[in-house]
Homo-oligomer: A and B are copies of this chain.
Amino acid sequence: MQLVFTAQNLQANQLVQLTSAHYQHVIQVLRQPVGAQLEVVGADQQAYRGEIKTIDQEQKSFSVQLAAEALADTELPVNAEIICGLPKREKTEWIVQKATELGASQIVFFAGQRSIMRWRPEQVAKKLARLQQIAASAAEQSHRRQIPVVAYWPNLLKALPTGPHNLVAYEEVVKGQHDTELGRQLRQLQLELSQRPTVKPTVRVIFGPEGGLAPAEVASLQALAVNCIGLGPRILRTETAPLYFLSSLSYAIEVESFAK
């Protein structure tokens, strides 16, 4: 079922008017008729099932009758921020698409010491707009309640906010040994969520570009109290590592912690 994001504040049982871009996409491109069902997400990230009631071709708008109850939330109970050393172009696009499906709240690219690519200042806005569009499509497709923010940091160390859950995935963490820091970190998050369910903690994980992080970069991060984590015994490509983390995060706090 099609999902659309609107900046409006939605109420149960409301008759919502949607216009312009929504009209073009839902009515003109997807050719949805009166009576068609869709999901609408409002400014407060509440989503409602709705039915198209009227279509006004002259005004290029249509009305949707919302259901009496909001749909269940689909967002991770934590803010998950993925901070990736800038890889080749097509990899940025699918990291954004997949990280959005897997629940990331922010997706950042930074120019790592070993990044083959660099974004010239005049390129940044255009590239971010393209990636933000990919995030919006993936958020609709995966029935998210928010569209992740895509950002670019020319300087990782200066831009990194402080926080208790800042992590760096570092493959030099001895492979083949059982590195359990990720397990400790996710168990800590499970504990925090069980103790203070109303607070939404933020976990940030930094990933190297194709060439990996330079030891000096990792040392600088550790000086900022960023913890090194491994992602299992196999060596993951730069675009695979964030998906491993986000999947493990979802499993630990959305699936496993509820299993009896």
* Given known A-B contacts A72-B233, A101-B234, A143-B234, A250 and B256 have beta carbons under 8 A apart: no
Q: Interface residue count for A (Cβ, 8 Å)?
A: 47
Interface string of A229-258 (1 = CB under 8 A from B): 011111111001001110110111011111
**Chain A contact residues, majority secondary structure:** loop
Q: How long is the Cα–Cα vector from A184 to B103 in the complex, in angstroms?
A: 22
* Given known A-B contacts A71-B176, A101-B240, A235 and B142 have beta carbons under 8 A apart: yes
A40 CB, min distance to chain B CBs, angstroms: 15
A177 at the interface (CB under 8 A from B): yes
B234 near A102: Cβ-Cβ < 8 Å: yes
A69 CB, min distance to chain B CBs, angstroms: 12
Residues of B within 8 A of A102 (CB): 234, 236, 240, 244
A259 near B180: Cβ-Cβ < 8 Å: yes
Q: How long is the Cα–Cα vector from A243 to B237 in the complex, in angstroms?
A: 13
Q: How long is the Cα–Cα vector from A143 to B174 in the complex, in angstroms?
A: 13
Give the B-binding residues of A (Cβ under 8 A).
71-74, 98, 101-103, 141-144, 175-180, 182-184, 186-187, 230-237, 240, 243-245, 247-248, 250-252, 254-260
